[in-house]
Amino acid sequence: MQKPSSKLLIILAFFAIYVIWGSTYLFNKIAVTELPPLFISSIRFIVAGALIFMISKFLKLNLKITKKQLLNCTIAGFLFLVYGNGVFVWALKYVDSGFAALLASTQPLFVLFLMRLIDGKTMHTKSLIGVSLGIVGMYLLVSQKEINTQEGSVLGIFMILTCVLSWSYGSVFVSKADLPKSYFVSTGYQMIIAGFLLVISSFIFKEQWISPVNWSTDVKGSMVFLILLGSIVAFTAFNYLLKVVSTEKVATSAYVNPIIALFLGWFVLDESLTLQSIIAAGILLTGVYFITSRKTITTKTKI
């Protein structure tokens, strides 16, 4: 039995990865219209990581880390934040935020395949139905002429799918990895390490660094949201959930995030939605539901 306080914490953590992360697609899209993508991510994670360590020090949390834990934090930081997020933000230059969120909703499919390969877990009937629907939905989504004729859209779609694969493998990896006991401290290490790797990547790709003084008000607001809520709050909640509930349940955020992202993209950025996209979204998210709702999933704790 979970204590009431633990249940409340789990509910709040799910709210963070559902709603806050669903909003980050919009704010990343706003930021990447003015700033280089790797530069955005490096600033975001270095500042967020530094704030996490300052808060951890104030709360007197144990910041010690073993060599094994440091290596695991580096691997997780690369999979989630350097590739999974940094490249994803780059792809937003060519793909609408709502559309990108729908592509990201395929994460449970990737997680399922990876768990089948790594753990040898059998795929049950609901999972097979979900995978089939997911493939159909994905085909309808990416086969639209309106999308394929946009410059760089095909490359953007491909890179987003590789990011989803990276994030999915990271989810499976973190659920078993030896990391600092404090989810907050673990998040801090992952972000600081990823931030510096992104700085190196930004210089390698010769991105132009722009002073915050020259950022527009919208970009400044977006970066504050991404750092405080998208990084510190939501990513800590994500790391916490990976340790206390099943990986499959954490992956359910993949069919809530697109709804939030699609609405915000339409409402704030006037992103258009085709009928085919809406049908594809319905089929794809139904497939994700079948995968994540199967009764045979073994959870670490009950929500």
pLDDT at 298: 37
Distance CA 189, CA 174 (A): 13
Dmax (CA) for the chain in angstroms is 56
Q: What tokens were used for 300?
A: 């670490």
Q: Spell out the domain ranges in the chain.
A: 4-292
pLDDT at 295: 45
> Could you give the 3-state DSSP secondary structure of residue 166?
helix
Residues 6+ apart with CB under 8 A from 176: none
Nearest C-alpha neighbor of 235 from the set 188, 175, 192:
188
Planar angle of CA 101, 183, 289, nearest 5 degrees: 35
Residue with tokens 């930021």: 31
Residues 6+ apart with CB under 8 A from 41: 81, 82, 85, 86, 89, 194, 195, 198
pLDDT at 71: 97
What pLDDT tens digit does each residue of the chain (303 aa) get? 556 568 899 999 999 999 999 999 999 999 999 999 999 999 999 999 999 999 999 999 999 999 999 999 999 999 999 999 999 999 999 988 988 888 888 877 787 778 777 766 666 778 778 878 888 887 887 777 766 556 788 899 899 999 999 998 998 898 889 999 888 899 999 999 999 999 999 999 999 999 999 999 999 999 999 999 998 999 888 888 888 887 767 877 877 888 888 889 988 998 877 788 788 888 888 887 787 665 443 333 322
Query: What is the pTM assigned to this prediction?
Result: 0.82
> Could you give the 3-state DSSP secondary structure of residue 37?
helix
CA 97 → CA 77, 211, 222, distances in Å?
23, 25, 14
